[in-house]
Chains A and B, each alone.
Chain A
Amino acid sequence: MILDGTLPARVAGIDSLSPTLKRFRFEPERGCFPTAAPGAHVLVTLRGPERVWKNAYSLVTPPEARDAYAIIVRRVEESRGGSHFLHDHLRPGDRVEIGTPASLFPIASLARRHVLIGGGIGLTPFLSFLPVLRERGAAFELHQYCTDAETETFGRLLAEAGGAVTIHGSTSRRSVAEILADQPLGTHVYTCGPERLMAAVEAAALDLGWPSHSIHKESFGGAEGGKPFSVRLARSGRSIAVSDTQSLLEALEAAGIEAPCLCRGGACGVCLTGVIDGEVEHRDHVLTEAERADGKLIATCVSRARSDALVLDL
């Protein structure tokens, strides 16, 4: 399938799952959506009255669901993104632009067993994994970490999905090390959730002698702020300030620049942009060590400047 541009869609339904979680169903304006990978995410463009957001969300629907995609969004109080816009302003029938589903979190083809570890809203990519793993007859177990207040909400979501599922509330939970100990050869672990949880999963697995190729982290949407800096665009001569709570990509978009992007989490490499001058603080997962040292490319969605200013080939 050759896809071009965004997929025009409408909001077909909104379900409130908890005080802060809503599920949004989107239907295509015509025809059907492309088959989405298990673990796929889409970029949703939200046009608010004052600004435009482009946010990446995991699809919670399986590959066969081509008549509708769904996402689950938590309303974040200090939202840099558009979660409050989705929660408070989006209504059924509204038009939305959805990007081509992309997969940076695939199911490992040779894995003999799959251990899925979600934290909070990081459960979402696993909701599209589960039906696929069940259909393939794969051996798997899912562990969802959340607050005690949300065990019921996630329990309901996972009851729909079925399978070997354990929900760990905040008061009684098994450690990730206990989960990962004594797994058979050929097991792969996948984790999505807060950075701390993912780091703990990775550390526990490595400590138990798991090879890095069997550890998979979903890392989109992880842009964090840092020291403010400025960028000069060599082709147009424009200068743009990047604030401490903004990513470079967001600053470019806010200035009306059409900057390429896909995952917004430093994983896909689509946003890599040439650096003409300045020192980069690399936070992506794409560039090799040699390329980092070389300093000629920056992943605008996550990386920042170490120097006060950067000159970009834009």
Chain B
Amino acid sequence: MGIQFRKDERFRENFSYVNSDAGVLRFPFPFGEDRYMYSVNIEPHIPGGPTPAFAHAFDIDEHYIAECQERAMVLADDPGRCQVLPHMMPAQWDTLELLMESLAADYPEHFSLDKDGDTWRWINRPLGIDQSFVFGRPETLPCAPFEYITRQAQGDFTLQDQRDDNLFVDGGMVTTQADWSLDFDIGMSFHEWHGPVPLAHETGVFDRALRFLLRLQYGHPVRRLNWTMTINPRLDTSPENYPDWGPDRTTVTPENVAEKVHLRVELQTLFRLPRSNAILFGIRCYLLSLKDIERVEKWRKRLHRVLTTLPPELAEYKGLTRYRDTIIAHLAPHDDGAELSPGIQPDQTVLPPA
């Protein structure tokens, strides 16, 4: 049984975005506790987890086709959203190999990969692609290998080169980002590109995360969740386009808050790559409206508690300041303060009607 892909979704202008009930229940809700603070919340990325979103190396869901179309539109406007520095060509092929082999193994009804020596044939049924090429020869693909394969995947990707006991973000495909610019940040070291994040530097989170990642082993990827909020189901909240989407933050009212505000979760995965020794960083973005979150009792109560106790610096950094109180006021009547189970799993298998 394959995934039923939605084809008519739009993540811009006249938005059109719907999650099925199963889509809601598989959402990787990011709060396992009633309070949130930065931590090195890294765990092994092994198949399986609290929701089906964790079942595969790279998660594909009902929004796959629409998200690939959205990516193509962003790239048509701004090709600089995909850039890879010249010394990263081995990492480009590593990425292509990893994504093709993983997708073909995890979703055989949608993707297949056949190899005859260096000649590979890649079939992507949802997007109608049938491509033969020679592995290691970029001229046999329609575009460079990293761009080629990440155009066919959900979520953003960056490539981290490891040298001088540090990681450098030396490439990426970034079209569904939470307000950071690849074009500006490319080439930065680990602490530089995390420079704008408040509070976390002082607690040593980035020092510990870097030391951990420098030792990341091939075959043993890791994952973590990160989150923010977005007004409207807009994937491309880039700093480049901030003048266009920034005003949305002033449009939230008590009447429209449940439809407008979306919890934006990044399922971040980190894979050591073999030929290049680089790290592939997958940033898989999930959007869920407040309205849908409310259908899960545990999630609506916990979200209320997290927002109530969130440090103001974090609220400011995540851009929530203008509408945080509106969300809290909306959720407060539905939180009885009862104790919630630890972890992020929804604790229910059926949803009330939307």
A–B contact, 8 Å CB criterion (strictly below): yes
Q: Kindly list chain B residues whose C-beta atoms are within 8 Å of the C-beta of A159.
A: none
Contact of B90 with A136 in the complex, beta carbons under 8 Å: yes
Q: How far is the CA of A63 from the CA of B275 in the complex (A)?
A: 7
B97 within 8 A of A: yes
Whether, in the assembled complex, B163 has its beta carbon less than 8 Å from a beta carbon of chain A, the answer is yes
Q: Please determine whether B47 and A101 come into contact, CB atoms closer than 8 angstroms.
A: no
Task: Tell which of B46, B98, B118, B217 touches A262, judged by Cβ atoms closer than 8 Å.
Answer: B217
> Is B322 engaged at the interface, CB distance under 8 Å to the other chain?
no
Cβ of A28 to closest chain B Cβ, rounded Å: 14
Contact A36 B274 (CB under 8 A): yes
Q: How far is the CA of A127 from the CA of B118 in the complex (A)?
A: 21
Option from B271, B272, B274, B278 in Cβ contact (under 8 Å) with A63: B274
Whether A109 contacts B87 by the Cβ 8 Å rule is yes
Given A34-B218, A100-B218, A40–B88 Cβ distance below 8 Å? no
A304 to B87, CA, bound (A): 40
Separation of A269 and B217 alpha carbons in the complex (Å): 10
Asked if residues A213 and B46 are in contact (CB atoms below 8 Å), the reply is no
Known: A110-B87, A286-B215. Is A101-B276 also a contact (CB below 8 A)? no
Minimum CB distance partner of A211 in chain B: B164
| Whole-angstrom CA separation of A257 from B101 in the bound complex | 36
A268–B57 alpha-carbon span in the complex (Å): 24
Encode B207-227 as 1/0 by CB contact (under 8 A) with A: 000000001011111000000
B162 within 8 A of A: yes
Whether A185 is near chain B, meaning CB under 8 Å from some CB there, is: no
Q: Which residues of B contact A37 (CB under 8 A)?
A: 218, 274-275, 277
Q: Give the contacting residue for B163; candidates A34, A213, A268; CB below 8 A.
A: A213
Enumerate B166-185 residues with CB–CB distance to A below 8 Å.
Answer: 170
B140 to chain A, nearest CB (A): 15
Whether A35 contacts B217 by the Cβ 8 Å rule is no
B275/A1 in contact, CB under 8 A: no
Q: Which residue of B lies closest to A269 (CB)?
A: B215
Q: Does B254 contact A (CB under 8 A)?
A: no
Q: Is A259 an interface residue when CB atoms closer than 8 A count as contact?
A: no
The reply to whether A108 and B46 contact each other, CB–CB distance below 8 Å, is: no
Nearest CB on B from A5, distance (A)? 10
Whole-angstrom distance between the alpha carbons of A101 and B220 in the complex? 11
Residue of B46, B136, B272, B276 near A109 (CB, 8 A) is: B276
Q: Decide yes or no whether A17 CB sits under 8 A from chain B.
A: no
**B45: Cβ under 8 A from any A Cβ:** yes
Would you call A40 and B87 a contact (CB within 8 A)?
Answer: no
Whether the pair B98, A109 counts as a contact (CB closer than 8 A) is: no
Cβ–Cβ contact A110 & B45, under 8 A: no
Is B161 an interface residue when CB atoms closer than 8 A count as contact? yes
Q: Chain A residues with Cβ under 8 A from B89's Cβ?
A: 136
User: B120 → chain A, closest Cβ, in Å?
Assistant: 12
| Interfacial chain B residues near A132, Cβ < 8 Å | 275
Chain B proximity mask over A36-77: 1 for CB below 8 Å, otherwise 0 = 111010000000000000000000000110000000000000
Residues of A within 8 A of B94 (CB): 35
Do B163 and A3 touch (CB < 8 A)?
no
In the assembled complex, the Cα of A1 lies from the Cα of B280 at a distance in Å of 11
Chain A residues lying within 8 Å of B87, measured Cβ to Cβ, are 109-110
B-facing residues in A89-117 (Cβ within 8 Å): 100-103, 106-110
B102 at the interface (CB under 8 A from A): yes
Chain B residue at minimal CB-CB distance from A103: B277
A3 touches B275 (CB 8 A): no
User: Is B46 in contact with A2, judged by CB distance below 8 angstroms?
Assistant: yes
Most chain A Cβ neighbours within 10 Å, of B97, B170, B217, B221: B217
Whole-angstrom CA separation of A213 from B87 in the bound complex: 17
A3 neighbours in B (Cβ, 8 Å): 218-220
A-facing residues in B87-106 (Cβ within 8 Å): 87-90, 94, 97-98, 101-102
Q: How far is the CA of A270 from the CA of B118 in the complex (A)?
A: 34
CA distance A258 to B102 in the complex (A): 30
- Write the B148-162 contact mask toward A (1 if CB under 8 angstroms, else 0): 000000000000011
Measured between beta carbons, the chain B residues less than 8 angstroms from A136 are 89-90
Inter-chain contact A34/B274, CB cutoff 8 Å: yes
Chain B residues near A108: list those with CB within 8 A.
163
B87, closest chain A residue (CB): A109
A34 to B57, CA, bound (A): 15
Q: Taking the nearest CB of chain B, how far is it from the CB of A9, in angstroms?
A: 15
- Is B136 within 8 A of A135, CB to CB? yes
Q: Give the distance to chain B from A212, nearest Cβ to Cβ, in Å.
A: 9
Is A15's CB within 8 Å of the partner chain B? no
State the CA gap A108–B163 with chains docked (Å): 7
Pairwise interchain contact A100-B220, C-beta atoms closer than 8 A: yes
CA distance A1 to B218 in the complex (A): 8
Assembly CA distance A65 to B167 (angstroms): 28
Q: Do A270 and B274 contact each other (CB < 8 Å), given the known contacts A2-B45, A136-B90, A213-B164? A: no
Residues of A within 8 A of B136 (CB): 135
Structural contact, A2 and B277, CB atoms closer than 8 A: no
The smallest beta-carbon distance between B193 and chain A, in angstroms, is 17
Given the complex, which residues of B lie within 8 Å of A110, measured CB to CB?
Answer: 87, 161, 163
12 inter-chain pairs at a CB distance below 8 angstroms, sorted by A residue, are A1-B102, A3-B218, A3-B220, A34-B218, A38-B275, A101-B219, A103-B274, A106-B277, A110-B161, A136-B90, A262-B217, A270-B217
Q: Given A3-B220, A286-B215, 5 more contacts at CB 8 Å?
A: A2-B219, A4-B46, A38-B275, A103-B272, A106-B162
Q: What is A's interface to B at a CB cutoff of 8 Å?
A: 1-4, 34-38, 40, 63-64, 100-103, 106-110, 132, 135-136, 213, 262, 268-270, 286
